[in-house]
Amino acid sequence: MNMKTLTRKSLISLILCLLLLALVPLSSIRAENSSISTHARAAALIDVESGRLLYSSRGDEPMLIASLTKIMTALVAIENGNLTSKVKVGKNAFAKEGSSLYLKQGEEMTLEDMLYGLMLRSGNDAATAIAEHVGGSEQGFVYLMNAKAEALNLTHTHFANPHGLDAEGHYSSANDLAVLTAYAMHNPVFKEIVATKEKTADNPYEKWDYKWSNKNKMLRLYEGADGVKTGYTKKALRCLVSSATRNGQQLVAVTLNDGNDWNDHSALLDFGFNHYPLKTLVERGEAVSGYSLVTGKDFAYPLGQGEEARLITKLVLSEEKSAGVADARGNSGTGASSSANASSFGLKGVIIMQLGGKEIGRVPVYTPSQLPPETSAYEKKYSPAGGTAYPADNWLQAFGSALRALFQSGEDQR
């Protein structure tokens, strides 16, 4: 056998291997690798309950976000407005450029109905009318939007309007949008609106009522999908935030500038559910071993393979200079004092949860007779700083993703 024959056979073998690789389902590749890629310029995936960032690619890069802006618009309006109040359509809102509900000038609609039009049909006229109603003016409402962004520690976000039309000084990042949406999904009104597939609203000015169908096709394409928002401008291109709930776990995926977003979001959500299932680590009222104390709240966290064995829990008592410390395996150590006003509501200390040397959460402990009422998780402030981001750096994933894009066309209707 001469060298030419050997070279020819090697080339044929290489081509056959590549063809076989192209036929391997992406789900199989993902099962063997802990990374994933998308077609997006920037992307993020977050667990709603814990706020843990499960995936990020260019996640902190400020970018145009189009109508994903309306996630913050809806949240601020819900938190600061009266849902039953009547919103009047002014001259600034009437015939606003871009996507529209086609509201008439002088028309009135309840804030609640207008929020449905805002999120389902992405009405820019609704966004402006809501802003003027809740904030007194569009500028006043934008101030509230930026104040909320600051409160949530969205350091790569700044708003210039409530609708998302391209403007100087108007931007956010994939990570910030993930954090914002995870927070917003704890608001029951917001959560119900973005999960709605169709909405009928009263129209006293015509013989017919408004009937809005949600532009977010993930609600129909993905099992368990329950939100959130589409977006598009000529400069921002296709943007999408989606959410889904399976087995009690809710995830939020974000892509910016992604021509294959429906498929990419399905892959991102599958990745999260398959590799980072939510695990309940502490239940409210659970007895603390070795003490006459109980835990004050539930604590759940998404854990990858092998991570649960590396969890460390530290009990820090407030009434002692030092306290016994127990890790996940029951080994003891020493702790430090805490909280000067810990006596309120019988608070006796806190259990600190750590993973990989980083704190992932705290659970207060109380005397059983003084366990306070449960508080809403809605006031929780999320930050991606403590999350673990997994970059898209696997060439096999990128190759398979490109092949899928070649044979499957994305739908561009928003």
In the chain (414 residues long), the average pLDDT of successive 10-residue segments reads: 51 51 37 69 97 97 98 98 97 93 95 98 97 98 98 98 97 98 98 98 88 97 98 98 98 98 98 97 95 95 96 87 38 36 70 95 94 72 42 41 38 40
Q: b/e for 340-363, b at 16 or more Cβ within 10 A? A: eebeeebbbbbbbbbbeeeebbeb
Q: Give catalytic residue positions.
A: 67, 70, 122
What pLDDT is attached to residue 170? 98
| Nearest partner of 123 among 243, 220, 214, judged by Cα | 214
Q: How far, in Å, CA of 296 to CA of 23, rounded? A: 51
Please indicate, yes or no, whether the overall pTM of this predicted structure exceeds 0.95: no
pLDDT at position 341:
45
Q: What are phi and psi of 289, to 5 degrees?
A: -60, 125
Residue 122's nearest CA partner among 63, 186, 74 is 74
pLDDT for position 13: 54
∠ CA 202-111-375, nearest 5°, is: 125
CB 161 within 8 A of CB 69: yes
Distances (CA, A) of 128 to 122, 199, 305: 11, 20, 47
Tokens of 179: 């954090």
Sequence-distant (6+) residues with CB within 8 A of 25 are none
